[in-house]
Structure 1
Amino acid sequence: MGMQLMRTSRFHHHLLHPESTSTPPTKALLGLGHVNSRSIVNIKRRNQIYGIVASSNLASPLWDSWKPEKGSAAPSLSDITWPSAGAFAAMAILGRMDQILAQKGMSITIAPLGAVSAVLFATPSSPGARKYNMFMAQIGCAAIGVLTFSTFGPGWLARSVALAASVAFMICTRSTHPPAASLPLLFIDGAKFHNLSFWYALFPGTAGCVLLCLIQEIVLYLKENFKF
């Protein structure tokens, strides 16, 4: 108790007479008046090893997610034009194929392919754009939708089970491809797809992805060789 009072009195004495001592007030209060520079370096090194950081830095990751990615340069005009042109060409070709398939009561243009186009053309180096991820997830999640509908019928339970099973499937097979998670819901709620049964695993999602992959190769070539 006496030691604490003595340290406290030294701290207040330093505040009133800072020129009378060379020991900083914080060190005087904590009893670190004789800590040398080597000890300070060791303390900083231990803080780095054990991940001890200042409290002002703890909130930065939360706010960083609301900001543009650091170090990313502004996209050039060609980086915007070619992916946009690829998306336009993809939907135009799919629309033309719909006109041909309409005589058989079929369609290949579905909403998830719009999301696939964004992944392939805008973020070609992301994990979701890998061919393995895309085709494994497209086939697996579409089949899950058919199986879930056959088991539970239409309704919220089938949609919930199908989505949960799709997420588990993509994690287990390491084939994360977000657009594929919408395929089971599309089948369960879309009566026009029910007659396809398990063919739905290949058409229209997987078949449309084949076309989008071909267009992606053209887009990547144009981006690499025709910059402006």
Structure 2
Amino acid sequence: MRSYFQKFRGEHAPLASKASFKDIAFAWGGGFIAIALIGFLTQSLEYPLVLGSFGASCVLLFGFPKSPFSQPRNVIAGHFLSTLIGLLFFHIIGDMWWSMALALATALAVMLATNTVHPPAGSNPIIVFLLGAPWTFLITPTLIGAVILVIVALFYLNLKKSLMYPSYWI
């Protein structure tokens, strides 16, 4: 048991290198454009496209675009599958704390099994339960919003000469 608690001290690995001001400014611009577009479309079309987890998606897309978690298949499928699972548990099993926990754990397992892990999407089952979301939540804001994020990332990230996005599609 003693060695278990000793693990809490960490490995003393070096801290990750800090991003340059130029990279920080570029990431800021991408996050601003992506969420501004989603917000503008939501207001203009009077159609809900904003999802709280999209903020964290922007951190990955524009701060860490080469990460496997930032690739289009992960962003789109991760959000879609996690929301679908949240909706299934919410509407079929019911609005109970243990159902929400099962939904989150199942979404995590499905993303791992399908190699579509997108950490921000892990919050989608919780969001479904908190909002009491209808089935249409799967398409809007989830699917349409995730696609918009990827489209913005495609156009914006490729403006940077030293970057090619995505690393892969499928």
Q: TM-score, normalised by structure 1?
A: 0.62
Which position in structure 2 is the counterpart of 1:211? 148
Which position in structure 2 is the counterpart of 1:22? none
Contact 2:48 2:140 in 1 (8 A): no
| Bigger RCO of structures 1 and 2 (CA < 8 A, at least 6 apart) | 2
Q: Are residue 140 (structure 1) and residue 90 (structure 2) matched?
A: no
User: Which residue among 60, 64, 68 is the counterpart of 2:15?
Assistant: 68
Q: Are residue 201 (structure 1) and residue 132 (structure 2) matched?
A: no
**Distance in 2 between residues matched to 1:134 and 1:124, nearest whole Å:** 11
User: Which residue among 34, 37, 57 is the counterpart of 1:90?
Assistant: 34
Which position in structure 1 is the counterpart of 2:129? 188
Q: RMSD across aligned C-alpha pairs, in angstroms?
A: 2.2
Contact 1:145 1:162 in 2 (8 A): yes
Q: Any gaps of 5 or more consecutive residues in structure 1?
A: 1-57
1:79 CA displacement: 1.2
Paired letter, 1:203 = T
Residues 73-112 of structure 1: CA distance to partner in whole angstroms, max 9, x if unpaired?
Answer: x53332111110111111211111121243xxx4211111
Which position in structure 1 is the counterpart of 2:56? 115
Contact 1:137 1:180 in 2 (8 A): yes
Identity score, percent? 28
Q: TM-score, normalised by structure 2?
A: 0.81
1:151 CA displacement: 2.2
Runs of 4+ in 1 over 6 A off after TM superposition: 58-61
Q: Are residue 80 (structure 1) and residue 24 (structure 2) matched?
A: yes
**Distance in 2 between residues matched to 1:132 and 1:139, nearest whole Å:** 10
**Distance in 2 between residues matched to 1:178 and 1:187, nearest whole Å:** 16
Contact 2:75 2:150 in 1 (8 A): no
Q: Any gaps of 5 or more consecutive residues in structure 2?
A: 1-6, 163-170
Higher-Rg structure is: 1
**Distance in 2 between residues matched to 1:97 and 1:215, nearest whole Å:** 13
* Greater displacement, 214-223 / 175-184: 214-223
**Distance in 2 between residues matched to 1:205 and 1:98, nearest whole Å:** 13
**Distance in 1 between residues matched to 2:11 and 2:21, nearest whole Å:** 31
